[in-house]
Structure 1
Amino acid sequence: MKKRYWIYIIVAIAAIALTYILTQGGETSERDILVTAKRGDFTVEITTSGELEARNSVNILGPSGLRSVGIWRVEIRDIVDEGTKVKKGDYVAQLDQTEILSRTESSDIEVQQSISEYTQVQLDTALELRRARDELINLKFAVEEKEIILSQSQYEPPATIKQAEINVEKAQRAYRQALENYKLTKRKAAARMSEAAADLREDQMELDRLKALLSQFRITAPEDGMVTYKRGRNGQKQGVGATVEPWDPTVATLPDLGRMMSRTFVNEIDIRSVQKGQTVKIGLDAYPEKELTGVVIDVANIGEQRPNSDAKVFMVNIEVNETDTTLRPSMTTSNTILADRIPDVVFVPLECLHNQGDSLTYVIRKNGLTYSRQQVLVGKTNANEAVILDGVSEGDELYLSIPPDVEDTPLALLTDVPENVAVKEEN
């Protein structure tokens, strides 16, 4: 009986222990996840999405003289599909001719009116000069007639002779006056003809300019290449229905596919870590199996606000090192910029870091069967991990989750943290 009694006690204790393990112990194993602090080279990477563009391209331009004729915008009526390969001189686009055709017709009417006015002035001046010449001839005959009368009156009384002399002098003066008037009339006629000719020439030049401009509304390729649409100020591609303006007559572009770059935008928090010359890993959404490399070639100094976003971003251009015939403008890329590499440091997952107040950061370290809170000095971080400058050693086991009643555990503070050093460094 005594032996059976002890067996019952042992079984009961085992059942209680098993129940505890299955309940408390099982929950603890699920809740308490541990990681080990690692030592090695730490990389700071910035991941962004971008879009492929040709580093160099040739613009396909529309009419260059729109401003000179007072046309401020022209709509693209038709354009070849984006990605179309064209040869030099091939058709690319057709601009709307409605306004310039109307102006050409009006200018042609003005030219016809100027021709009519020029002809009318020519006829008027010809008739006026003919009358003036006829008057001169008549006055010259009158002078000769008066001189004949004077020569025949030499035997007449002195009074008659004197009257004949006066008549000759009057006729000569009238002739001289008419001759001067003819010269003035001739000069006036020449001026009127010059003015009419200038008006006609100006109207004709305007008509010729409009006709030459009209011929430019059919857009052709300046050289061989693949057509890509121009992007407007809002980032939208400009196809049929978009407008071409005098200060930017670009209709489309012909990119140089041999030199590609990815244009991306980095937020204002990460931009201070991006510099020219940094290496980049580039992935293509269209070809996930392809792995390309690149280098940062340009970082904007001024931020901008993208559509549908409140955050400020900075444009970054990344040149693609490889040449690949499958690369096309507007392909979406994933860019991983290697902003920094720190050798031989201790680092832990970001989930291990907890905050107390605004400036104190700590980790929860496993100490045998218990745990403790330890203040840490955090260095640079990336998307998943953080460098620990002080407070954690390689191999320390840290909790990812927060154990129960952790606030009751004392916090071990660092002793040699300078007051002017932020607890969590971003740079």
Structure 2
Amino acid sequence: MAFLKNKKYLYLSGAIALLFIFWFAFGSESSEAPAIYTAPERGTFEVNVTTTGELQAKNSTSIRGPEGIREFRIYSVPIQRLIPEGTVVEKGDFVAELDRSEISSNLQDAQLELEEAESQYESAQLDSTLNLSQARDNLINLEYAVEEAQIAVEQSQYESPAVQRQVQIEYERAQRELSQARKNYKTQVRQAEVNLREIETDLKQEQREVQRIREVMEKFTIYAPENGMVIYKRNRDGTKVTEGSSISAWDPVVAELPDFSVMNSETYVNEVDIQNIRSGQRADIGLDAMPEKQLTGRVTSVANIGEQRPNSDSKVFRVTIEINEADTTLRPAMTTSNTINVSKLQDVLYVPLETIHTVDSLNFVFKRDGLNVTMQQVVLGLMNDNDVVIREGISLDDELFLSTPADTSGIPKTYLPAEVREQYDEEELKSDPLEDTKELTPDEENPETEERPIEQSGPDSSAGRSSQ
């Protein structure tokens, strides 16, 4: 009896062992991952565009080099000396020294031309003096000749009529020559005056040229126009004007004296996200140098034309964000992290982006229906980096697959009614996701009170992508 009982336990133990062996051999090697579910959430949905920027003063005083150097065929000037960036200066303090070699050459040429003009003027004076002196001597001689002819006329009264007539003719000829010589002398005087005036005009022009060059040369030493902190000028390619670089004759700015009372964050948004950016939108601003400091701002300008930034293949658009707070610790060129609040929707249903699947340009979710799975068509709204608003198709109690089920064959599809789809298609054609965006008033800039709901966009909405 005991033997039979032990045999019974032996069979039972063997059966259990076989079950474990079968499970380890077949069950544990299954590669099918367990399904992960999520549920929709209802609440406030925000769409943001994240960018990095750089602090700049909204207003600043430019420290400029000499103006008008293009008149002397100088189009760029190297900087010989420049005080360090960040130096605090007072009005009239030295800032920079420019290279004078090219304009010194122009000065030498102008001085040579001035000396030549002075020589010409002096020579013209001597010539006119000599010519007029000879003309005056000729007038005196002609006056004597008239007087002699008059005496001959008086003495000829006792001569024959023919002699008297001949003497009279000589007297009249002498008078005509004297009269003509006097007219010619006046003409010669006027000619000499005109000639001297022309030469004198050229002389004064050369004198002014030399004077202008000297005045411009004095401005090659640059002084601070106001009190402030010197910040080097930044070129279009992002580089700064430093000692050894050149300034342009069209924009001779060497540095700037920023006004720290109002600061801007200059940032660049890619061409995908720029369609969602409007003036007046709020922004949350962080400082990389001071992570504990949080600031707020407002978009004040959005560029209409894109540009190619260095080391970047995509086009970006410049966006200016004015910082609301005045802080003495803010300095130009500080790096900022900007989160532009594109839109904010209250009490909406949203799900993770991973739950959305597109089939034939229609959007579906895999929904758990008891032990079964169905593909439910949905209508999408705004989306951000992680989630998307669901306008139609599911409820708060549904369970959704975060990934595609292992076997999708035979899963039924549930479509929305035709009239619902047509309604949303018409709304999508008419709606502009940012049409209600407007310039914010000071009260609306308060993040605790601002609520600016906007029209929800269709499935192609791309708001919320990060821009670097």
Asked if these proteins are the same fold (TM beyond 0.5), I'd say: yes
Shift of 1:272: 2.4
Matched, 1:403 2:405: yes
Separation (CA, whole Å) in 2 of partners of 1:315 and 1:110: 51
Contact 1:361 1:375 in 2 (8 A): yes
**Residue 191 of structure 2 corresponds to which residue in structure 1?**
188
**Residue 42 of structure 1 corresponds to which residue in structure 2?**
45
Shift of 1:133: 0.7
Show CA shifts across 1:255-281 (max 9, x none): 111111111122222222222221111
Indicate the RMSD between aligned Cα atoms, in angstroms.
2.5
**Residue 23 of structure 1 corresponds to which residue in structure 2?**
28
Decide whether aligned partners of structure 1 residues 43 and 24 sit closer, same or farther in structure 2, where only a CA change above 3 A counts.
farther
**Residue 415 of structure 1 corresponds to which residue in structure 2?**
417
SS in 2 for 1:204: helix
**Residue 433 of structure 2 corresponds to which residue in structure 1?**
none
Matched, 1:80 2:115: no
Separation (CA, whole Å) in 2 of partners of 1:309 and 1:407: 44
Q: Which residue, out of 230, 254, 257, partners 1:254?
A: 257
Moved more, 297-306 or 18-27: 18-27
**Residue 16 of structure 2 corresponds to which residue in structure 1?**
11
| Aligned residue runs from structure 1 range 48-63, under 5 A | 48-63=51-66
**Residue 424 of structure 1 corresponds to which residue in structure 2?**
459
Show CA shifts across 1:146-172 (max 9, x none): 222222232233333223222222221
Moved more, 279-288 or 71-80: 71-80
Matched, 1:265 2:276: no
Separation (CA, whole Å) in 2 of partners of 1:243 and 1:407: 70
Separation (CA, whole Å) in 1 of partners of 2:101 and 2:148: 71
Q: Which residue, out of 348, 356, 363, partners 1:345?
A: 348
**Residue 162 of structure 1 corresponds to which residue in structure 2?**
165
Moved more, 185-194 or 157-166: 157-166
Separation (CA, whole Å) in 2 of partners of 1:26 and 1:168: 143
Shift of 1:360: 2.1
**Residue identity in the other structure for 1:224:** N
**Residue identity in the other structure for 1:11:** I
Shift of 1:239: 2.1
Contact 2:142 2:174 in 1 (8 A): yes
Decide whether aligned partners of structure 1 residues 36 and 10 sit closer, same or farther in structure 2, where only a CA change above 3 A counts.
farther
Separation (CA, whole Å) in 1 of partners of 2:119 and 2:297: 69
Show CA shifts across 1:363-399 (max 9, x none): 2334455544333222110011111122332243333
Shift of 1:17: 8.4
**Residue 118 of structure 1 corresponds to which residue in structure 2?**
121
| Aligned residue runs from structure 1 range 84-99, under 5 A | 84-99=87-102
**Residue 323 of structure 1 corresponds to which residue in structure 2?**
326
Contact 1:38 1:395 in 2 (8 A): no
Shift of 1:25: 8.1
SS in 2 for 1:154: helix
Contact 2:364 2:375 in 1 (8 A): yes
Aligned length: 424
Separation (CA, whole Å) in 1 of partners of 2:49 and 2:192: 82
Contact 1:379 1:425 in 2 (8 A): no
Q: Which residue, out of 128, 137, 140, partners 1:137?
A: 140
Decide whether aligned partners of structure 1 residues 402 and 272 sit closer, same or farther in structure 2, where only a CA change above 3 A counts.
same
**Residue identity in the other structure for 2:44:** D
**Residue identity in the other structure for 1:243:** S
Shift of 1:22: 7.8
Shift of 1:20: 8.3
**Residue identity in the other structure for 1:8:** S
Show CA shifts across 1:108-164 (max 9, x none): 111111111111110111111111111111111121122222222322333332232
Moved more, 11-20 or 60-69: 11-20
Matched, 1:374 2:409: no
Contact 1:294 1:318 in 2 (8 A): yes
**Residue 383 of structure 1 corresponds to which residue in structure 2?**
385
**Residue identity in the other structure for 1:397:** E
**Residue identity in the other structure for 1:410:** P
Separation (CA, whole Å) in 2 of partners of 1:19 and 1:368: 29
SS in 1 for 2:158: coil
**Residue identity in the other structure for 1:39:** R
- TM-score of the superposition, structure 1-length normalised? 0.91
SS in 1 for 2:404: coil
**Residue identity in the other structure for 2:416:** L
Moved more, 131-140 or 147-156: 147-156
Separation (CA, whole Å) in 2 of partners of 1:230 and 1:252: 5
Moved more, 159-168 or 200-209: 159-168
Shift of 1:40: 0.7
SS in 2 for 1:406: coil
- TM-score of the superposition, structure 2-length normalised? 0.84
**Residue 174 of structure 1 corresponds to which residue in structure 2?**
177
Decide whether aligned partners of structure 1 residues 291 and 407 sit closer, same or farther in structure 2, where only a CA change above 3 A counts.
farther
Q: Which residue, out of 201, 204, 219, partners 1:216?
A: 219
**Residue identity in the other structure for 1:360:** L
Separation (CA, whole Å) in 2 of partners of 1:56 and 1:124: 63
- Aligned-residue sequence identity (percent) comes to 46
Shift of 1:302: 2.9
Decide whether aligned partners of structure 1 residues 396 and 24 sit closer, same or farther in structure 2, where only a CA change above 3 A counts.
farther
Separation (CA, whole Å) in 2 of partners of 1:373 and 1:7: 46
